[in-house]
A and B are shown apart, each in its own frame.
Chain A
């Protein structure tokens, strides 16, 4: 497997524009996580899905952010409209949970570096 694949790797956009980040999790994984990383705030969990269903979106900063997982092999994180303070590296991760009481590792993508000017 090629691992978690994120696209694009870099994105530069103007303030007010819509930005869509994409993630392809590892096949067979049932959990998908979206994170944002900045120097000031570190790694923040934005939202996570289990079997394509959002479980906890309490980390989503505001209504400008939305995430979807239409199927087990694809997820998007959308920012509309984008603002300069959204500039950060966004990571997607996936993991597999084989059963109650078992815990496995999460695999991270290489991230998308977003710059909003």
Chain B
């Protein structure tokens, strides 16, 4: 399975944007880039996903490099409730399975 690399932690000030990088240099053509986050004492929750083009939703934006070897999750205005561990995951859809494997993630601290 293709691996992802993320910084262990990042800090941000409230109301400021947060850019979370993810490297996935061994990504294959069928791998989707997924982001999940895990708030304290909760199960992971979906944030966003994409294949090739940049994606936006109400929670965040996903910027994907042209060669797809890296991506960046953008939280436009961090709030205290955004403090969580953010996971970048490669998920391949194929007839033999649709695995979802988590790495170490980036712990985001938001300062008031």
Contacts and interface: CB of A to CB of B under 8 A. Distances in A.
A109 B87 CA distance: 17
Given A48-B97, A103-B32, 11 more contacts: A42-B105, A43-B44, A45-B101, A45-B102, A100-B95, A101-B93, A103-B51, A103-B91, A106-B44, A108-B43, A110-B42
B108 to A, nearest CB: 16
Contacts of A31: 98
Interface of chain B: mostly helix, strand, loop or mixed:
loop
Contact of B99 (A43, A45, A102): A45
Interface string B41-53: 0111110010100
24 contacts: A33-B100, A42-B102, A42-B103, A42-B104, A43-B38, A43-B44, A45-B101, A45-B102, A48-B99, A50-B98, A56-B97, A93-B43, A93-B44, A100-B95, A101-B30, A101-B93, A103-B93, A105-B49, A106-B44, A106-B46, A108-B45, A110-B42, A110-B43, A111-B43
Given A91-B44, A111-B43, A106 B97 contact: no
Interface of A: 4, 31, 33, 35, 42-45, 48, 50, 55-56, 91, 93, 95, 97, 100-103, 105-111
Report whether over half of chain A's contact residues are helix, strand or loop; otherwise say mixed: strand
B24 interface: no
